Chains A and B, each alone.
Chain A
Amino acid sequence: MSGSAPSRREFLVGAGGGLGAAWLAAHWPGIAAAHEHAAAVADPHAAHGTEPGAAAGIAPLSFFDAAEARTVEAIAAQIVPTDDQPGAREAGALYFIDRSLATWATSSSAAFRRGLAEFHSAYTAAHPGAEFAAADPETQIAFLADIDRTPFFESLRFLTLLGMFSLPSYGGNRGELGWRMLGFEDTHAFYPPFGYYDRDYPGFVAATNGPAPSSDA
């Protein structure tokens, strides 16, 4: 880990070559194996703990140590925060990210860890002796707003969102909390009416001669 805090520019450059969408797609072939592994260890209906440690008993972390996990989860929890509905923390995005970096994404896990270390260094340079995960939300948000264009942050955002909205069997989206927050359902079949506006549709009537009469709502 870097002994001295990097300058802003060094931080931005140093976090480059991280986990963009392109990188992820290029390294995805191992996902099927990870999928199997995650399905075996993750119980989508358990693990509603608010601390990484609380859930770790059910799905132990494979890649992050406890401090790294706290930071990653805290950042993810600001990307999709918890309010009256679950956010990234409750959906277990951390576990999706951890599983990814420990299995199919191992070839770039070092780059991710380096980006995380640089994040940590930059944070402690700005807030000596403090830990990002322990900061109040305002401090976290202000710091993230300064670094949200870095490849590290973009990679973490990408993974957080995949972890919230992919099939629960990949390790995130626990109990389909991500989908439920969105208002999305995945079932084999739906039947009309599908939504509010097609409920009382009278049927299609062609208006082929000149402008159609305006239809009232």
Chain B
Amino acid sequence: MTRRYRDSEVVDFVVVGSGAAGGVMARELSQAGFGVVVLEQGPRFTPADFAHDELKYYFDHGITNGPAKSPQTFRRTPQDVAKRSESGGWQPLTYARMVGGSSNHFTANFWRFHDVDFHERSLLGAIPGAALEDWPISYADLEPYYGKVEWEIGVSGLAGTHPNEPPRTRPYPMPPMPVKSSGVLLERGARRLGLHPFPAPLAIASQPYRGRAACVHCGFCMGFGCEVRAKSSTLYTMIPEAEATGRCEVRTESYVFRLATNARGRVSGVHYFDPAGHEHVQKARAVVVCANGAETPRLLLTSASPAFPDGLANSSGLVGKHLMFNQNSSSFGVFEHELNEFKSVQATRVVHDFYDSDPKRGLYGGGGIDARIGPNPAGWALAGPPGRQWGKAYKDHLRTFPRTMLAAGHSTSLAVEANSVSLDPELKDAWGMPAIRCTYKDHPDDLRFAAWLQDRCGEILEAAGALQVWRLPVTESSVAVHLLGTCRMGNDPARSVIDAHHRTHDIPNLFLCDGSSFVTSGRGQPTMTIQALAFRAADHIADFAKRNEI
């Protein structure tokens, strides 16, 4: 059934990347009647290829971009010399490199953005040291597409459960996942403090859904691929539906390293390496880059040519700028009885009472709190609490594992122009292409708000009856999996890279859609919005193509 195209054939669309956004784009464009070639850097896994192997997935880059083939460098500020990462072996910008991309190994927390996320600049005014801007679209523009994500991708949850829930036109298609002990305790503690906890929306099937099995609560969501197809990754949802149209080919282990342009300044296709390292050119009427917030700007920058000396679609000079990560802060609570948080999904209850930025706090920032497992056994042991990390007392700490939960804070990152993805001037990847150089220093308000939210996490745990609450210090970010903001959307071509329809301001048949499109960071769970943007972008792009406007 799967269609195969020849390189020399001019297909309607090349989609670069098959992840959260690329999978949606491929499915929507092929269902709209267009021929689509998806070029994916990584391999294609089946459920049997995934494993409960913490060593492989967390320490061996089992499914993520590893430093052996794709090294990166990191620096705090543009004045520093970037160095290869020493941050625990994770790449500064980490993503799953395989069909379905990071929708395979994500935790599957699927919070919609709220209305405020789209117009905080107007609401709050300028923030010193940040490039805070309004989005050119509103929550109302995206609302139908959030519903589409919930029903087409498959999200479990419960509507109408808290006062600041963003408006919706449809309920969730599946009930929420069964509550865990951490969820019960978060709910108990939060309600004692007058807060409004609610069941976590998750892109995980709580019951059989569209031919996929329900979750079996194995406990290996965060960082792992799903072995029963219950997690709603595009590997299991969008990609097979795209291929079923007979118009979409997913070409794996195909690494796009340059966009091809013609004399008219338009994109004519993509250059890529096949698994053997041989170079090919796939021709296309239009290209949609959904390679993620790290690789999308990198590809535009490696596509520089005499006609585009600063890279493609970069007349604003903002390609790669405004990188945002989302801050995180957690408090650990130890309880009297067993919670066994290693079972089932990460989070079953969420608090959004601190979602909005409140000027009364004296700083910018907003976030959500969820109750979760946190780390797997080796990660748990390595992270340890403050104090001596070995010996008898340390072993006693290790044994609190089944009685411990995290209240985890997920919060904002402000856009700062100096925070960026750029090309390292010296380091090359295994294919000889310039490596990613990451520059990142959290805005002071990001760190201050994370610490503020960590205090709220601790209060909830104490109100829930924790015997002991401990925490690790909030630190500056040096590793991220939320890769946001690097080709921001906007109406002004001088201050943004793409327009409100995801078309690059500079090149009419080049579109970008993934985390790079974000103008603000949201509150720490970006994939839901990445996919809503992708459904919306695909609608517009299909319309443009039908009207011959690509």
Question: Using a CB–CB distance below 8 Å, which chain A residues touch chain B?
Answer: 20-26, 28-29, 31-32, 35, 78-81, 83, 85, 87, 141, 144-145, 148, 157-158, 161-162, 164-167, 170, 178-179, 181-192, 194-198, 201, 204, 206-209, 211-215, 217
Partner pick for A212 among B89, B196, B395, CB 8 A cutoff:
B196
Question: In angstroms, how far is the closest chain A Cβ from the Cβ of B55?
Answer: 4
Verify A185–B342 contact, CB threshold 8 A: yes
Does B543 sit within 8 A of A, measured CB to CB? no
Would A183 and B89 be within 8 Å (CB), given that A79-B391, A190-B216 are in contact?
Answer: no
Contact B340 A188 (CB under 8 A): no
> Which A residues are CB-close (under 8 A) to B88?
21-22, 25
Q: Are B381 and A164 closer than 8 Å at their CB atoms?
A: yes
Closest 3 CB pairs of A and B: A25-B89, A196-B337, A195-B181
Return the contact of B89 from the options A26, A179, A182, A196 (Cβ within 8 A). Answer: A26
Smallest CB gap from A163: residue in B: B378
Check B179 for interface membership: any CB of A closer than 8 A: yes
Q: Would you call A206 and B160 a contact (CB within 8 A)?
A: yes
Instruction: Name A196's contact: one of B179, B181, B219, B380 (CB within 8 Å).
Output: B181
| A24–B61 CA distance with the chains assembled, in angstroms | 11
Question: With contacts A28-B61, A198-B184 known, what are 13 further pairs, Cβ within 8 A?
Answer: A28-B60, A28-B89, A79-B391, A81-B392, A165-B377, A165-B378, A167-B54, A189-B216, A190-B217, A194-B217, A194-B339, A195-B181, A198-B183
A25-B88, A25-B89, A215-B188 known; A196 vs B217 contact (CB < 8 Å): no
Closest partner residue, chain B, to A23 (CB atom):
B89
Q: How far is the CA of A148 from the CA of B185 in the complex (A)?
A: 37
A162–B55 touching, CB < 8 Å: yes
> Are B401 and A217 neighbours in the complex by a CB distance under 8 Å?
no
**When the two chains form their complex, are residues A191 and B217 in contact, meaning their CB atoms are under 8 A apart?**
yes
In the complex, are the beta carbons of A187 and B218 less than 8 A apart?
A: yes
- A186→B378 CA distance, assembly (Å): 13
Pick the contact of A214: B52, B191, B377 (CB < 8 A): B191
Q: Which chain B residues in 58-93 approach chain A with CB under 8 Å? A: 59-61, 66-68, 85-90
| B90 adjacent to A198 (CB under 8 Å) | no
Are A197 and B337 also in contact (CB < 8 A) when A25-B88, A166-B54, A182-B377 are? yes
Q: Closest approach, in angstroms, between the C-beta of B429 and any C-beta of chain A?
A: 15
In the bound assembly, the distance between CA atoms of A161 and B384 in angstroms comes to 11
Kindly list chain A residues whose C-beta atoms are within 8 Å of the C-beta of B188. Answer: 215, 217
| A198-B180 in contact (CB<8A) | yes
B390 touches A79 (CB 8 A): yes
Q: What is the bound-complex CA distance between A83 and B86, given in angstroms? A: 35
Which B residues are CB-close (under 8 A) to A213?
Answer: 191
- With A21-B88, A207-B196 given, is the CB distance from A166 to B390 under 8 Å? no
CB-contact partner of B52 in A26, A181, A186, A198, under 8 A: A186
* Chain A positions within 8 Å of B335 at CB level: 197
From B61, B87, B191, B401, give the contact of A183 (CB < 8 A).
B401
Q: Does B194 make an interface contact (CB < 8 A)?
A: yes
CA distance A184 to B220 in the complex (A): 13
- B55 & A208 in contact (Cβ 8 Å cutoff): no
A196 contacts B339, CB within 8 Å?
A: yes
Check B468 for interface membership: any CB of A closer than 8 A: no
Interface size of B as a range: 35 or more
- Please pick, from A21, A23, A170, A207, the residue contacting B191 in the complex, using a CB distance under 8 A: A207
Residues of B within 8 A of A23 (CB): 89
Contact A206-B343, Cβ < 8 Å, known A22-B88, A26-B89: no
Q: How far is the CA of A162 from the CA of B381 in the complex (A)?
A: 9
A215 and B191 contact, CB distance less than 8 A: yes
Residues of chain B within 8 A (CB-CB) of A80 are 390, 394-395, 398
Q: Is the CB of A167 within 8 A of B55?
A: yes
Nearest CB on A from B218, distance (A): 6
| Contact of B6 with A by CB under 8 A | no
User: Do B180 and A78 touch across chains, with their CB atoms under 8 A apart?
Assistant: no
| Chain B residues whose CB sits within 8 angstroms of the CB of A157 once the complex forms | 389-390
**B360 on the A face (CB < 8 A):** no
CB pair A204–B395 under 8 Å, yes or no, is no
For B340, the chain A residues whose CB sits under 8 A away are 183, 194-195
CA distance A83 to B56 in the complex (A): 30
In the complex, B198 has a CB within 8 A of chain A:
yes
Q: Which residue of B lies closest to A213 (CB)?
A: B191
CB-CB < 8 A to A141: which residues of B?
Answer: 391
| Chain A residues whose C-beta falls within 8 Å of the C-beta of B178 in the assembled complex | 192, 194, 198
How far does the alpha carbon of A208 sit from the alpha carbon of B164 in the complex, in Å? 9
Enumerate chain B residues within 8 angstroms of A184, measured Cβ to Cβ. 342, 377, 401-402
A182 CA to B400 CA in the complex, in Å? 7
B176 at the interface (CB under 8 A from A): yes
**Which residues of B have CB within 8 Å of A24?**
59, 89
The reply to whether A204 and B55 contact each other, CB–CB distance below 8 Å, is no
Q: In whole Å, how far is B271's beta carbon from the nearest beta carbon of chain A?
A: 27
Convert B291-314 into 0s and 1s, putting 1 for each residue whose CB lies closer than 8 angstroms to a CB of A.
000000000000000000000000
Chain B contacts for A81, CB-based, 8 A: 391-392, 395
Q: Report yes or no: B86 in contact with A22, Cβ–Cβ below 8 A.
A: yes
Q: Is the pair B337, A195 in contact by a Cβ cutoff of 8 Å?
A: yes
9 A–B contacts, CB within 8 A, in A order = A25-B67, A26-B67, A148-B390, A170-B55, A179-B377, A182-B399, A184-B402, A190-B217, A191-B217
**Which residue of chain B is the closest to A28 with respect to CB atoms?**
B60
Chain B, 117-131, contact with A by CB distance < 8 Å: what is the 0/1 string? 000000000000000
CA distance A206 to B341 in the complex (A): 24
Decide if B158 is an interface residue (CB 8 Å cutoff): yes
Which of these, A32, A162, A189, A192, contacts B218 with CB under 8 Å?
Answer: A189
